[in-house]
Amino acid sequence: MLSPTPRTTLGRKKHRAVTDRSALHAVLDEGLICHLGIVRDGVPLVLPTGYGRDGDTLYLHGSTGAASLRAATQDVDVCVTVTLLDGIVYSRSVNNHSMNYRSAVVFGTAKPVVEPEAKLHGLKVLTDHLAPGSWEHAREVNAKEFAAVSVLALDLAEASVKMRAEGPDDEPDDVGADTAWAGVLPVRTVFGAPEPSADLSPGWTPPPHVTGRAATAR
């Protein structure tokens, strides 16, 4: 179960809170990109960031030259969010239009992963999340690349999950009048057909770990 804290307790629509830790894992595992929020030089900053999960640890990564990543390791609180959009909710009134979604918000202090073996593990987790199968297929990270990338670890101890999965919430008068269409337009993320690099040698075909995702709906 997720442990409620003042920062993770919903202020509105409390009935949409999900406290099962497996729901948090499911949202993080299905998402492909997170947004990392920090305050840098007194200014709020939210950046799209690659991530991967191993148990209750979330790994983030970026260039060692990225000021935002350096700021995130200075013993400051960060906020990581992942949102999955599942549908657009059309209501009989414009005011009641909405979205069906699953979202996760994680608070904590990100720690730099510097021990070589642990850092390499973090990079593998990140790679397996975005492009499963590539760690075994592609060239391994060389020393120069390894030194140029930062890996951060964020504990999932303080997190919240919020979901909406329902139809329109129209006012009774609008339902009675029935003057506009109401319903849900589902939203899906799908992988298309692999597109080979223009400089790829003739004879290459996409490997199974790529083609296996091509028809997968998320």
pLDDT of 204: 94
**85/101 Cα distance (integer angstroms):** 5
Place of tokens 């983030």: 60
Place of tokens 């070589």: 116
Place of tokens 């506009």: 180
Domains of the chain: 14-86+98-170 (2.30.110.10), 191-218 (no CATH)
Q: What does pLDDT average to in each consecutive run of 10 residues of the chain (218 residues)? A: 89 88 97 94 91 97 81 85 98 97 96 96 97 96 95 96 96 94 95 94 93 71
pLDDT of 70: 75
pLDDT of 10: 85
Own/partner long-range contacts of 1-7 (Cβ < 8 Å, ≥24 apart): 2/159, 2/160, 2/161, 3/157, 3/158, 4/160, 5/107, 5/158, 7/107, 7/158
Token pair of 177 as six digits? 């009048």
Report the amino acid identity of residue 80: V
Token pair of 71 as six digits? 């700021």
pLDDT of 62: 86
